[in-house]
Amino acid sequence: MVGRLAEWRYSCRKSHRTHYSEWDRSAASDAPAYAEFGNSGSNGLSQTQSPTLEEVMDYISADSGSTWAREPSILSTVTVAPWTSPVEPATQNWASCLSAPAPELIITEQPKQRGMRFRYQCEGRSAGSILGESSTEHSKTLPAISLINCEGIKDVKVSVCLVWKDPPYRIHPHGLVGKDCHDGICEITLHPDEGQTNHSFSNLGIQCVRKKEIETAVKARLSLGIDPYSAGMWRHHEEVDLNVVRLCFQAWYTTAAGQRMPIGRVLSEPVYDKKSTNTSELKICRMNKDHGRCDGGEEIYILCDKVQKEDIQVMFLEGKWEARADFSQADVHRQIAIVLKTPPYHDLHIRDPAPVQVCLQRITDGIRSEGMIFTYMPRCSDSFGLRKKRPCLSSPFEDLNGLDPHGIESKRKKAIPDFREHCNTISDFTPGPFCGLDYLPHMHQMGAGEPTHHEIEDTDENFEALISWIPGELDDLPEAMAFENFLPVTEDEETASVVGLSLALTGRQLPDCAYPEDSRMGGC
């Protein structure tokens, strides 16, 4: 467990290196604290995955006895104030003295955490608009707050600024732009005495600064007194994580005596930059295969939105069952494609096709993409897989006839395939034999009576004859040499198969169009 945590920390450091360095430093001097997180159980951290940073934070904040939350030495990089609670009812103390319900500021609609891109100044003033978390494609919501127990107050000033995702919630160099925004913050005045206690923020955009502007931006904000957590400037402030912010809502009112009273200080959930690959939404765009053998090990290509090769896994899911697809970092191509091997299905003896979900999952935060269906096929009842008839194409090269020359359409949204089709692959011939050239005429003979199909008796004799011919172990033949690709269906295909087979046996590249059905990407 400790090892896994260390691994998690390592990956965090890699992908958010700058941002977490403060914690890394702390943790280095307090290994036992980390070990304690790893025991999960009652501490609320996930048991099935590495804990997220938030979880660790929650754990820390819940653990008042933690030495390193108070230990001055670990705060050596902090120039101003120590850490304080994220949601702090600032009004609690005096309110209880007055025995009146304390005025409060609450977030009634959190900002949507993902999906909006931070914009540079050079991209224009309109930096988009942060939506509410319950927004859908059809109904938009906005981030919103509500003032509670403020009925009698005339003016309440509300201010929103951006802070770091993590304690001590320093001011963030990025700024808010849009309606009611200036100097990177958004300020409005509400009149609760007139019933105006709610507000939703429309047209709030996040404008990002360039790295070289971080210091200037932070100083500018601090000089305006914007620093809700009095966290000040960090001497390594340029190490801020520029891909995530939190909105910090604050409110004040002025008493009759002219005293300025704070009402609240509330943090939103983190808001992540859509453009950054370590926080963006994950998406599978296409897979080259939507079904396969239930014992797994089949190669599949997935095209996806940009991912980070060291922080991505592909999960196969069905209810509580989860299996991770097998691939290495080298199998992630330019961040947008993954070549993987399917994991075996949990039941190798299924009788019917079993559809499961395939999705991308980021390792560090556990976020998953939407699933795409992949259907596991039963193994064949006849070990040869030859008894089954194979459906006949109207034309073996249908795809070449103009409508879909690249076979793109034909790969889209296929219906759940008939598992018999799947059974015809040579890999069903455990232990992986291969048919010899001289087997083809034999096959032809046997199918002579059938105009569209050839069938071969699944007898032990035939099987023995087949495997006895084979020179050696051919377990690892590429999928392109699947038996179905060589099994003649029509005269044309048979010719193609003979060509294909002979080429395959001589180890030469097959012309794409020699395949009755090209199962590889790209097509003819």
Residue 211 as a binder of DNA (CB under 7 A): the answer is yes
Q: Smallest gap, in angstroms, from Cβ of residue 335 to DNA?
A: 5
Candidate ranges 125-133, 150-158, 187-195, 427-435; the one touching DNA (CB under 7 A): 125-133
The answer to whether 104 and 147 are in contact (CB under 8 A) is yes
Q: How far apart are CA 65 and CA 71, in angstroms?
A: 11
State the DSSP string of 508-519.
PPPPGGG-SS--
Residue 245 as a binder of DNA (CB under 7 A): the answer is no
Q: Smallest gap, in angstroms, from Cβ of residue 109 to DNA?
A: 17
Residue closer to DNA by CB (options 122, 415) is 122
Q: How far apart are CA 389 and CA 420, in angstroms?
A: 8
Q: How far apart are CA 327 and CA 365, in angstroms?
A: 20
Residue closer to DNA by CB (options 19, 422) is 19
Candidate ranges 50-58, 119-127, 347-355, 486-494; the one touching DNA (CB under 7 A): 119-127
Helix (H, G, I), strand (E, B) or coil at 253: strand
Q: Smallest gap, in angstroms, from Cβ of residue 131 to DNA?
A: 9
How many C-beta atoms lie closer than 10 Å to residue 402's C-beta? 7
Residue closer to DNA by CB (options 94, 120) is 120
Residue 409 as a binder of DNA (CB under 7 A): the answer is no
DSSP character at residue 343: P
Two structure tokens written together for 102: 């304390």
End-to-end CA, the chain? 49
DSSP character at residue 52: P
Residue 143 as a binder of DNA (CB under 7 A): the answer is no
Residue 207 as a binder of DNA (CB under 7 A): the answer is no
Candidate ranges 9-17, 67-75, 132-140, 418-426; the one touching DNA (CB under 7 A): 9-17
Residue closer to DNA by CB (options 98, 122) is 122
By CB under 7 A, name the one of 138, 320, 334, 508 that touches DNA: 334
Residue 243 as a binder of DNA (CB under 7 A): the answer is yes
Two structure tokens written together for 504: 């395959």
Q: Smallest gap, in angstroms, from Cβ of residue 23 to DNA?
A: 18
By CB under 7 A, name the one of 159, 207, 278, 375 that touches DNA: 278
Q: Smallest gap, in angstroms, from Cβ of residue 229 to DNA?
A: 24
Two structure tokens written together for 265: 């200080």
Q: Smallest gap, in angstroms, from Cβ of residue 243 to DNA?
A: 7
By CB under 7 A, name the one of 25, 70, 210, 406 that touches DNA: 210
Q: Which residues 444-503 are close enough to bind DNA by CB under 7 A?
A: none
Sheet harboring 198-200: ordered strands across? 104-109, 144-148, 198-200
The answer to whether 47 and 4 are in contact (CB under 8 A) is no
Q: How far apart are CA 142 and CA 125, in angstroms?
A: 19
Residue 247 as a binder of DNA (CB under 7 A): the answer is no
Cβ neighbors of 204 (< 8 A, separation 6 or more) are 111, 129, 130, 143, 160, 176, 177, 178, 179, 181, 186
Residue 332 as a binder of DNA (CB under 7 A): the answer is yes
Residue 349 as a binder of DNA (CB under 7 A): the answer is no
Candidate ranges 13-21, 73-81, 250-258, 482-490; the one touching DNA (CB under 7 A): 13-21
| Binding residues for DNA, total number by CB under 7 A | 31
> x/- contact string, 293-322, with DNA (CB under 7 A)?
-------------x-xx-------------
How many C-beta atoms lie closer than 10 Å to residue 460's C-beta? 9
Q: Smallest gap, in angstroms, from Cβ of residue 11 to DNA?
A: 12
The kind and range of the H/E element at 158 are: strand 156-163
The answer to whether 485 and 501 are in contact (CB under 8 A) is no
Residue 129 as a binder of DNA (CB under 7 A): the answer is yes
CA dihedral 18, 23, 28, 29 (to 10 degrees): 140
Q: How far apart are CA 493 and CA 456, in angstroms?
A: 17
Residue 283 as a binder of DNA (CB under 7 A): the answer is no
SS3 content of the chain, % helix, strand, coil (to 5): 25, 25, 50
By CB under 7 A, name the one of 275, 444, 453, 520 that touches DNA: 275
Two structure tokens written together for 21: 């360095």
Residue 279 as a binder of DNA (CB under 7 A): the answer is no
**Interface contacts to DNA, rule CB under 7 A:** 14-15, 17, 115-117, 120-124, 126, 128-129, 208, 210-212, 242-243, 274-278, 306, 308-309, 332, 334-335
